[in-house]
Amino acid sequence: MLAARIAPPSAPAAARAAHAPRAAPPPPPRRAAPAQRRRGPPPPRAAPADPGNAAGAGLAARRCEPCEKADGAEAAMGFSTAFDRASAERYLSHLGPGWRLIEDGRGRLRMRQRYRTKNFVKGLEFLQRIGAVAEAEGHHPDLHLEGWNNVTVVLWSHERGGLTENDFIVAAKIDAIEASDLISKKPPREDDDWP
């Protein structure tokens, strides 16, 4: 059997390798650049579209848009303002029955819907279904379960200080939830001492 011998590197080659410049380590991965703020006035925005006629799709077929707090220029031009009552009522007419416009203590518009569920467990399950819709849209209502079977949903855009199209999109998606197995045939109570 023949043994293979590996010849040691020659001294000059080994000396050259020891003094050769080392390759630089690869640079660390670059982080994404932070979002840049727009300079100058914002582009003009169109008035709210007719909620029932956007490319033939209703509100439930739409997706919520990110709702950020407006900067000073947008606020000065009126773009940061939430819907006025007339616009909100126009959108409200495209929702199912029971949705009501309400005002908070500062006069900001919100909308509310009340439901009566068959029992406490059905109320919790209904809240879970609403929560799944809200999470998918990234727009979250205030949810209340009181008196073991009374569910209240309150929608408004916190960043805009009132109602925006996102609120009506989520309301339409809540209307589309199949909940006949959860909702009582009795109407919800309407006293105003609860949300």
Has residue 191 got a pLDDT over 80?
A: no
Has residue 170 got a pLDDT over 70?
A: yes
Q: How far apart are CA 176 and CA 167, in angstroms?
A: 14
Residue 140: half-sphere exposure toward Cβ, Cα within 13 Å: 9
Which of the given ranges, 59-63, 73-77, 123-127, 153-157, has the highest pLDDT on average?
123-127
17 contacts: CB under 8 Å, gap ≥ 6: 9
- Condensed to tens digits (0 to 9), the pLDDT of residues 93-134 reads 999 899 999 988 888 899 999 999 999 999 999 999 999 999
Return the higher-pLDDT residue of 71 and 109: 109
Hey, which residues does 12 pair with through a beta bridge?
none
Helix (H) or strand (E) holding 143: strand 142-146
Pick the CATH number of 71-195 from 3.40.50.2300, 2.40.50.140, 2.60.40.1220, 3.30.1360.20: 3.30.1360.20
Domain map of the chain by residue range? 71-195
Give me the pLDDT at residue 8, please.
56
Give me the pLDDT at residue 104, please.
86
